[in-house]
Structure 1
Amino acid sequence: MGQKYLVCQGAICKCDFGSATDTLKVLTQNKHYINDQEGKTKLTATHKDIGKTFEKNSFGSCAKMNNNPCQALITEWSGFYKNITLAYNGGGKALLEDSKATCPIGGKDCIKIIKHGQTVEISKQNLKNTSSTKIHIMNSLLNIDELMDELDEQELDAY
């Protein structure tokens, strides 16, 4: 089994019966962040994020309702990661990129996560933890030592 990503606020979801995607909003907690250097936008999503938990609360038109507008409502999540529990939101278990949600109209597991919401952020710490030889092999135009010096200078200028 390959590595799976945890899901965070901003994940893109799609219903099997809808015509559009919607963006997940984490409403059950405001303390635990992932993949967010500043800790301001990417809240960790859990199986406790149920109800109207999307930005538009709609996946467009719903095939199950004769193409009338969808009114997304999550009643439960399946396939979450049982080894991470957030005590802050009543024991929420972290969602994984292959977790699925149930809607009372579409049925069990009709809502899928198509983008987990995490993004790549290059930070000074990431660069320190990376082999300059490997970076040179992947991108011979990038001089990691010069980049680190430049970041150090910017840090000093900030003080």
Structure 2
Amino acid sequence: MAEKHLVVDGAMCMCNYGTSPDTLKVKTHKREYANDKDGSTKYIASNKDIGQTFQKNCFGSCSMQRNKPCNAVVTEWKGFYEHTTLTNGGKILLEDSKATCPIGGAGCIKIVKHGQIAEPGSQNFKSAEPKVSKTLNPAVDPRELTEEPISIEGIIFE
């Protein structure tokens, strides 16, 4: 699973035969989360997310149906992570997982964006190279974000 992102609720998917993307909706569980630094924002997608599991259930017009409106239905997912099982009994979808549609065939639906959003925490600022941080954001001194303020309370000056 190295270097691959987990797919979460809100991932953008596209069919090889459609004209527009649709958003994946995780409807099979309400327990396992991923995405933010606290791990509590978006449900993790699994191979159990089949059927009409998209927001609009439509990838625009379908070239396999003479450009009639698509009726997206997932019958199967392939390329998921085998080594972890979620509470719904499903295996975690990865950004290169592909779905099968009865009209488009095996692997016709692919994941375009995995749905996760990078959210740096304080540890990211502490471990970042100060020169790089200053170059990327010259308006902020990275030491102000990582160093504890020095308190002079209790010190007697003479």
| Structure 1 residue runs of 4 or more that deviate by more than 6 Å after TM superposition | none
Q: What is the distance in 2 between the residues matched to 1:72 and 1:139?
A: 47
- Unaligned residue ranges in structure 2 (runs of 5+): 149-158
User: Is the CA contact 1:136–1:143 (under 8 Å) kept in the aligned structure 2?
Assistant: no
- Unaligned residue ranges in structure 1 (runs of 5+): 151-159
Q: After superposition, what is the alpha-carbon deviation per residue over 1:70-89, rounded to whole angstroms, capped at 9, x for unaligned?
A: 01000000000101211x21
Candidates 135, 139, 144, aligned match of 2:134: 139
Select the structure that is richer in helix.
1
Q: What is the distance in 2 between the residues matched to 1:41 and 1:59?
A: 26
Greater gyration radius: 2
Q: What is the distance in 2 between the residues matched to 1:3 and 1:37?
A: 18
Q: After superposition, what is the alpha-carbon deviation per residue over 1:13-43, rounded to whole angstroms, capped at 9, x for unaligned?
A: 0000000000101001111111124655411
Range 77-86 or range 32-41, more displaced:
32-41
Match runs of 1:36-75 below 5 Å: 36-37=36-37, 39-75=39-75
C-alpha change, 1:15 and 1:82, in structure 2 (3 Å) is same
Amino acid at match of 2:12: I
Amino acid at match of 1:106: G
Match of 2:91 in 1: 93
Match of 2:29 in 1: 29
What's the CA shift for 1:104?
Answer: 0.5
SS at 1:64's partner residue? helix
Name the % identity.
54
SS at 2:48's partner residue? coil
What's the CA shift for 1:2?
Answer: 6.0
SS at 1:84's partner residue? strand
Aligned residues: 145
What's the CA shift for 1:144?
Answer: 1.9
What's the CA shift for 1:124?
Answer: 2.4
Q: What is the distance in 2 between the residues matched to 1:137 and 1:38?
A: 25
Q: What is the distance in 2 between the residues matched to 1:17 and 1:24?
A: 17
User: Is the CA contact 2:11–2:115 (under 8 Å) kept in the aligned structure 1?
Assistant: yes
